[in-house]
Structure 1
């Protein structure tokens, strides 16, 4: 039996077990709502920043239904909570955000999720076509409605660039790094002038390169782990190693407390930021750094890092109302509102043409025309194939090996050996 066959069968068995547990729990419920009963409250689970804080207020006013937003800061904390809720049949929200890697994992067996097709209007023509299609399970079930896509850019600190005697205007900054080698050279100049790393971490650069290259990443189309032969992974790895050798980063582990604090403290002057990262950068930097950050294009052109869908777990007591809430949160008007508040880039075609989006300038980021910067790259974004355990491989194999090398703990050869070994473990079910 091949590794692919073993992994697929094991995956089906594992997720079937979750389904069975969830079904048993559902069958045991004695608090099913009466016919026509309207929920007093619906719960929405998200990670990072989705920008729903304001839009739910209008929903509450229109429907009389309270919406509780439960936010988890980090994706690697969010996923285990969701898996546990599905396994026990309780604890999941009525509406759940599924990041692209997590969605692929649950596509193996979509029985835990409500099929949205009979509960919402036909939106197949309303979103970026490839984004809408990725929300479907292999059996055609519509598991989720599209939220955002992660168009890439660079967030940089104008004041820190000025202190390093580097240009500060975004068009001049963009000219500093037409390609990746030029970005490395800029980082060298920054360290020579300041004695500090310009970039937050080589792992954010590695992610940007990998997603920009596209194609097969940690998995091939048959969901075999190909981390050791993927051209995109190798290109990202080599660029991260080059950056580590050039010492252009502050070597802060992404999502760590030190990384979060580094935005406010000026530990680094740049990070690769998909559109959804804007809210995180602003929140971590605080109001005192408003206007100090700006946004410039990513080296080498566009790329796609991240993106999510809204789904409804079968265990929701109010699947019809939950589906309508997911539909409301992902409509054109509210995708624009969410972008203006926290940065998640719309995938609704009407939203992408809305002058409120295309002409939007972000006051926190020195008036950067983020609608244009991110919107211009949407048409260039190509769908990526992320295998069922992409996030686990990235966070538990790829990034730790790079950080170990950057910290001088292991050689380049040992780092690659550690990564490819751990990738097989993390990538298998």
Structure 2
């Protein structure tokens, strides 16, 4: 066992001890324990980004008489610390909690923090993409998460800006510009020249995410959860491709105020869109830009950036009712409805075959057949191995190093050396 693996497991043991104590404290509050069979007046759902549940929870309220409070956090980097605090203190967690793929593995070793959904819901094991269902299980076999979406990749682009720069605007012609990443880079250079020097993409970290999640292999960790960040072929490919595109970047880091404002201001003409990003692009761009955006294929043809599960924290006072709500939000009808509202791509097999999903067109994105575009890419998605601290390595080591190079604060070699150093620290604790 390597030092990195040993330190990671020691950290997991320490967190387990903390949460075990907090769990006892939470369970010891008998005054707040509901009577057996008591119906909750309200259930709370914690999500990040935009998962498309606004109308669905209204339906659930009408059907059950139970009020549902949606607590949305815009950025995953803000969401995770809240969740860690809820688990460490044994209080504050929602009844239903969204777990993104990058943090799911981090919480799996401490399965005691989550209700086992197996006895609380029907057997849905054959109803979802098989690999997606299996990833929702803890090492001890407990089912801790019901599948929501996957982040099938595409490129969102501004037709009006493309036209002004002399590029084609029709989605098939745009897709043909970049069968590979070299083609994408060349399209960006053509745009920059035709637009008088304007940036083509939002940031090189967006490029790195797209390339990274196309690899279908080990990323920052190997299968034994040893940190391999600085030797991983997938990470190196993402680094080389991303750094090569600094000349066409607006240097607007994803989720930053400059990035959010850049959609309305036309600071960049294209960004990488996992299916769940469609709702965020629309929200940031505003009504005035409806019909100016469209959706094209991603270079390389496929990829999976993101995806989540719904879990029920063990501290929920109403685990049975919470599990039913999670089941409602993730069933076939729920996943189609969420996709139509905000873009999260279904993982339910019935939903993926649903004619309403397959024929769906997104009017904001120039009537793009997003059901067909994203639905056809599902079969090409290969699951990647994300280690226990994947999100921390990506957000606190990999992306800062890329931004340091992009902003001229470090040479490419120096930025890589800093990443290699930080990855070991972030990945071990």
TM-score of the superposed pair, with normalisation by structure 1: 0.98
Q: CA deviation at 1:24?
A: 1.9
**Cα contact 1:293–1:365 (8 A) shared by 2:** yes
In structure 2, what is the Cα distance between the partners aligned to 1:16 and 1:372? 47
Q: CA deviation at 1:269?
A: 0.6
In structure 2, what is the Cα distance between the partners aligned to 1:77 and 1:171? 37
Alignment partner, residue 245 of structure 2? 243
1:200 to 199, 202, 207: 202
Alignment partner, residue 20 of structure 1? 21
Partner SS for 1:305: strand
Deviations 1:69-126 (A, max 9, x none): 0000000000000110111111100000000111100111110000000000000000
**Cα contact 2:203–2:251 (8 A) shared by 1:** yes
Partner SS for 1:199: coil
In structure 1, what is the Cα distance between the partners aligned to 2:293 and 2:2? 50
Alignment partner, residue 312 of structure 1? 312
Alignment partner, residue 255 of structure 1? 255
Q: CA deviation at 1:27?
A: 1.5
Partner SS for 2:380: coil
Q: Pairwise mapping of residues 24-423 of structure 1 onto structure 2 (< 5 A)? A: 24-194=25-195, 195-244=197-246, 247-423=247-423
Q: CA deviation at 1:408?
A: 1.1
Unaligned runs of 5+ in 2: none
Partner SS for 1:273: strand
In structure 1, what is the Cα distance between the partners aligned to 2:340 and 2:81? 30
Partner SS for 1:139: coil
Deviations 1:196-228 (A, max 9, x none): 111001111111001001201000001111000
Deviations 1:402-427 (A, max 9, x none): 11111111111101001111111111
Partner SS for 2:213: helix
In structure 1, what is the Cα distance between the partners aligned to 2:181 and 2:384? 21
Partner SS for 1:121: coil
**Cα contact 1:200–1:249 (8 A) shared by 2:** yes
**Cα contact 1:16–1:109 (8 A) shared by 2:** no
Aligned residues: 427
Deviations 1:34-70 (A, max 9, x none): 1221001000000000000001111111100011000
Q: CA deviation at 1:10?
A: 2.5
**Cα contact 2:44–2:94 (8 A) shared by 1:** yes
In structure 2, what is the Cα distance between the partners aligned to 1:22 and 1:369? 47
Unaligned runs of 5+ in 1: none
In structure 2, what is the Cα distance between the partners aligned to 1:298 and 1:95? 33
Partner SS for 1:212: coil
In structure 2, what is the Cα distance between the partners aligned to 1:299 and 1:77? 30
Partner SS for 1:108: helix
Moved over 6 A (4+): none
Q: CA deviation at 1:29?
A: 4.2
In structure 2, what is the Cα distance between the partners aligned to 1:7 and 1:318? 33
Partner SS for 1:69: strand
Q: CA deviation at 1:382?
A: 1.1
In structure 2, what is the Cα distance between the partners aligned to 1:340 and 1:29? 42
Deviations 1:211-247 (A, max 9, x none): 0012010000011110000000000000011111xx1
